[in-house]
Amino acid sequence: MEAAAAKDMPQQEIQTESKQIEMPEIQKLTDITGTELIEPTLSGETRDDIIDEMIQKLSRAGVLHSASEFKQAILNREQESTTAIGMNIAIPHGKSDAVKRPTVAFGIKRSGVDWKSLDGTKAKLIFMIAVPKKVKGTNI
């Protein structure tokens, strides 16, 4: 279904350093996420558990070339500063060659997890953003 939908979507050329690649033009939320990327009951007990759980969602959905390479991109970004923006929200994100297409996964951890949030709240709503490294014009 996803592949068929991608064929019907307008294509946008993305210039990379070595070649041009075609990426689907994002016009609606379902162009970057789907029900298979939503987890209403995350089971992890730590930030890293939740990151692993969400990366597995992306991997099972066929979004990643390499789960371990994308995880390293996520952890590198977390080392720069927390992606927990407050109000129980965390937005871990990474740009990596391990990502096939821009995608967002969403999860809920009802009891919350310590993410070193800017306002001290536990992260309950987690949005993981995955973007191919070679896509120009993206800044995450």
**Ordered DSSP codes for 91-126:** --EEEETTBSS-EEEEEEEEEEE----TTSPPEEEE
Residue 75, CB half-sphere, CA atoms under 13 Å: how many? 13
CB-based contacts of 138, cutoff 8 Å, min separation 6: 95, 102, 131
User: Can you say whether the dihedral through the CA atoms of 4, 107, 70, 19 is positive or negative?
Assistant: positive
Residue from 34, 48, 93, 106 carrying the catalytic annotation: 93
Has 93 been annotated as catalytic? Answer: yes
**Catalytic residues, which ones?**
93
